[in-house]
């Protein structure tokens, strides 16, 4: 599985992939990546999850 987080306007802000058995799912990996990226910005308007859409692929 994979997951991308997309901001209004179509900008991909994070992506994640399902890891080994017993580890994070794709959605959790993407959210963790986005949270880490937010720590690197000083713009308070960028530090939120508003207007973010998650697109997830599922394994057959």
- Which three-class secondary structure state does DSSP give residue 6? strand
User: pTM of the entire structure?
Assistant: 0.77
Mean of the pLDDT values across residues 24-46? 80
Q: What is the pLDDT of residue 14?
A: 93
* Sequence-distant contacts of 31-39: CB under 8 A, at least 24 apart: 31/5, 34/5, 37/13
Distance between CA atoms of residues 23 and 37, nearest Å: 21
Could you give the percent of the chain with pLDDT greater than 70?
83
Residue 58 pLDDT class (50, 70, 90 cuts):
confident
Q: How sure is the predictor about 22, in pLDDT bands with cuts at 50, 70 and 90?
A: confident
pLDDT exceeds 60 at position 45: no
């Amino acid at each position: 599985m994979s997951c991308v987080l997309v901001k209004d306007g179509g900008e991909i802000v994070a992506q994640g992939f399902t890891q080994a058995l017993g580890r994070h799912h794709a959605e959790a990996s993407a959210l963790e990546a986005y949270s880490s990226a937010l720590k690197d910005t000083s713009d308070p308007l960028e530090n939120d999850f508003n207007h973010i859409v998650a697109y997830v692929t599922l394994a057959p």
